[in-house]
Amino acid sequence: MPENRPTDLGEIASDDIYAKLRNDLDFWEPWVRRALDSLGLAAPGTLRIPGESTNPVVLTDTGLAVKLYGEHWCGPENHAAELEAYEVLQGHGLPIPRLVARGELRPGRPDRSGACAWPWPFLVMETASGITWRQAMPTLDRPRQLSLARRVGALVRQVHEVPLTGSAALRPDADVFADLLRERREATLEDHQEWGYLSPRLLADVPDFLPDVDALLAGRKPVLVHGDLHGTNLFVDPAAERVTGLIDFTDVYAGDPRYSLVQLHLNAFRADKGLLAAALEGAGWEVSPGFAEEMLRFTFLHDFDVLEEVPADLTGVEDVGELARLLWGV
């Protein structure tokens, strides 16, 4: 173990330190065991990290997942978002792992100055059944892939139909989503220049291509949007051809339903337009004549690097209309 490696939660004093530790099982195992013990839950035999995640997530061999929230990398906001999402989503028949308990590793503990230090809240949830969408797809023939995509589309519609009864981001009149799009509108050009997936010629047209956010959202009733439907946040049972799990509610909003399709199509589906068409069919989604360009606008306004999993080389595309058709034309 490196000499300077932190051993205590209080030593996570910067984004850089947090980034190096967030998926480090050796660091988190004793804290997860302490969290479970504090709630009187059974001690697990083995623990594992399921994969890369923004907030530390550890799975136990007792069928539970423990998610911890630090004060870095938007941890406080993520914790609040997940708690609100669980309150709003429960009781609607969605395949969401049950929230078992919540707690704090350091409730009310003062720091060296005497002020209350970050309490390190955590949630304990049941693990999702089935396997991830990303694991399932390579094992399936085309008809079963399309069948599952239709089921995912039906789930997306079901999420959109959940009443917005939250107290913050999931209130019908919440400004969180529109504010996010405004921030992304200002930052997207610079971000895409850095990411390098698109040609400078195409990016030069992006500012004029993106409308005012109020105009983009005008006339649209907000719905509950899961903004991070990537390939490891969806779980399926391939044999039964059904969706068995939906997880990670740190990016949920009262917002525009089109936003929820971006990660689903470009990450989970890896821009496979046949899967997209099947999901839209399952959702009963009416595809307008301007659908492709509408979706490209939300692609540019999305909060993540959403082109990372697109298998096509897009650097030769120099027209936004051509890019819209290439990615979203169904």
* Residue 9 near residue 18, CB atoms below 8 Å: no
- Among 233, 211, 229, 193, which residue's Cα sits nearest to residue 296? 211
- Among 313, 309, 293, which residue's Cα sits nearest to residue 301? 293
**The 3-state secondary structure of the chain, one letter per residue:** CCCCCCCCHHHCCCHHHHHHHCCCHHHHHHHHHHHHHHCCCCCCCCEECCCCCCCCEEEECCCEEEEECCCCCCHHHHHHHHHHHHHHHCCCCCCCCCEEEEEECCCCCECCCCCECCCCEEEEEECCCCEEHHHHHHHCCHHHHHHHHHHHHHHHHHHHCCCCCCCCCCCCCCCHHHHHHHHHHHHHHHHHHHHCCCCHHHHCCHHHHCCCHHHHHCCCCCEEEECCCCCCCEEEECCCCEEEEECCCCCEEEECHHHHHHHHHHHHCCCCHHHHHHHHHHHCCCCCCCHHHHHHHHHHHCCCCCCCCCCCCCCCCCCHHHHHHHHHCC
Quote the CA–CA distance of 2 and 171 in Å, as a whole number. Answer: 46
- The structure tokens listed for 130 are 């089935």
Residue 228: active-site member: yes
Quote the CA–CA distance of 69 and 31 in Å, as a whole number. Answer: 12
- The single residue of 228, 248, 251, 256 carrying the catalytic annotation is 228
Catalytic annotation, residues: 228
